[in-house]
Chain A
Amino acid sequence: MKKINYSEVTPEKIYNNRRFFIKSLGLGVSSIAMTALPLINNANSNEDNELTSYKDITTYNNYYEFGTAKGDPYKYAQNFKTNPWNITIDGEVEKPIQISIEEILETFVSEERIQRLRCVEGWSMVIPWMGFSLSQLLSKVTLTSKAKFVEFESVYDPEQMRGQKYPVLQWPYREGLRIDEAMHPLTTVVTGLYGKKLPNQNGAPLRIFIPWKYGFKSAKAIVKIKLVEKMPTSSWMRASPREYGFYSNVNPDVDHPRWSQATERIIGNDIFAPRVKTLMFNGYGDDVASLYTGMDLKKYF
């Protein structure tokens, strides 16, 4: 049975307006969806809470499995097969499971979650994802006491992913979170955007999204979620441990060794729009700063 979402028949502008209307009535499906986007007090700009257009979100991507140019994922991911698709949850769990994407979509209700994406390269978007908290998915298994970290493994299929034929990064792509980060309600399993099915170039059929961390932490096309005791080494840490840390929290005070992280450009703005100040934890400090109490974030970057 094909489910038709309104947004498939609604222009983006009206979609945006309706969203605003629902918000103003306070009839949000979930409180988190509505509070997920922090209010930004920035004298430099008044536009940074505007949704990035569907076109920009789906044609301007970093997804090296399909090539390193921003337009490559859109160009080369169109025929990527996301069905059948199974996700394994194993490692430090009582009983490992394998779950199909259909079952995930049936079991968990995806809600709209408008979240900011800040790329480590210094640009940002505001994306209306469809998704649910990772903690819900992880509740399908019973964690052992050794489950201290979560490792995400993306699909490895060089036949379909031309970028994987080049050793730009170590494939398959790996990312990781500390267990408390993984269990945080803002950590989202993404199944769609703009009310539609998740496009291939954005990580279909299922990706993770962690709004207070640089974009590369949010692994795409996930096939395996492994609970582990030791801190996993992500693909980017392996590529350059001095530059890409495990935490990779958005932090304007900790520069990338080679470029500044103090400001960002908002995708979709015209050439005369100024850069805006980058916010600590990408503006989600109220929700997540407590996860890092007492930690030296310059050391654990």
Chain B
Amino acid sequence: MNRYFKPSIFFLSLLPFLIIVYKIYFNQLGPEPVKEITHHTGEWTLIFICLTLAMSPLKRLTNLTIWIKFRRMLGLFVFFYATIHLLTYVGIDYRFNWTPIFDDVLKKKYIFIGFAAWLLLIPLVITSSQRMMRLLKHNWRLLHKSIYLIAIFGALHYIWLSKTIFFKPLIFAIIIIILFLFRFNYRKYNN
């Protein structure tokens, strides 16, 4: 039974991607298609960040170690969706027109912080293998704590691009804060 878990979760994690491919192919993206792709992939990046962060609290709450086995894969999906999100913005929206892109990254805080979050994901992806984990020893844990920073950057990215205070970005921020508190409590509890 257990051996079906990982492939199933892999397939489920791929669904948001398949949905957007379907929508592009069948012209279901609505009046502002580029924004639709950007929002869809951005939102799923945040959802996968939350899922990744939820694994260790779930392990603790349910006393099952199986959750941790999904964490790496979910984390890699964060990078997958974040990268499509970024490529949509750079390639489809701005057609690799670098002047306005550089301008945005440097001057607009929501783009700056979103881009920073994507950059911070790269070392985590590079060091995601078992081998790297062994190689880096305790430094690995330290490095991978940056996912919390990335999560906060992601939530701020969403809050700052909204016209005013909106429900959805706030919900993401609240969930991330709750997951953060879990972590904090856990450490206190362990010491």
Which residues of A pack against B, CB within 8 Å? 56, 59-60, 68, 70, 120-121, 123, 166, 168-169, 239-240, 255, 258-260, 262-263, 265, 267-268, 270-272, 274-275
Contact = CB atoms under 8 A, between A and B. Distances in A.
A263 B34 CA distance: 14
A240 B164 contact: yes
Contacts of A272: 92
A60 B33 CA distance: 12
B32 A267 contact: yes
Contact of A56 (B31, B34, B94, B108): B31
> By DSSP majority rule, is chain B's interface helix, strand, loop, or mixed?
helix
Interface in B57-111: 92-95, 100, 103-104, 107-111
Contacts of A267: 31-32
A258 B160 contact: yes
A56 B30 CA distance: 8
Interface of B: 24, 29-35, 37, 92-95, 100, 103-104, 107-111, 160-161, 163-167
A68 B163 CA distance: 10
A141 to B, nearest CB: 34
A121 B34 CA distance: 14
Given A258-B109, A258-B160, A68 B167 contact: yes
A271 B24 CA distance: 8
Contacts of A255: 107-108
Given A258-B110, A259-B161, A265 B100 contact: no
Nearest to B33: A271
20 contacts: A56-B31, A59-B31, A60-B31, A121-B163, A166-B167, A168-B164, A168-B165, A168-B166, A239-B164, A255-B108, A258-B160, A259-B104, A260-B107, A263-B100, A265-B34, A265-B35, A271-B24, A271-B34, A271-B37, A274-B95
B58 to A, nearest CB: 31
Contact of A260 (B29, B95, B108): B108
Contact of B104 (A56, A240, A260, A271): A260
Contacts of A258: 108-110, 160-161
Nearest to B165: A168
A278 B61 CA distance: 53
Given A60-B31, A70-B30, A70-B32, 18 more contacts: A59-B31, A68-B167, A70-B31, A168-B165, A169-B164, A239-B164, A258-B109, A258-B160, A259-B110, A265-B32, A265-B93, A268-B31, A271-B33, A271-B34, A271-B37, A272-B92, A275-B93, A275-B94
Contacts of A60: 30-32
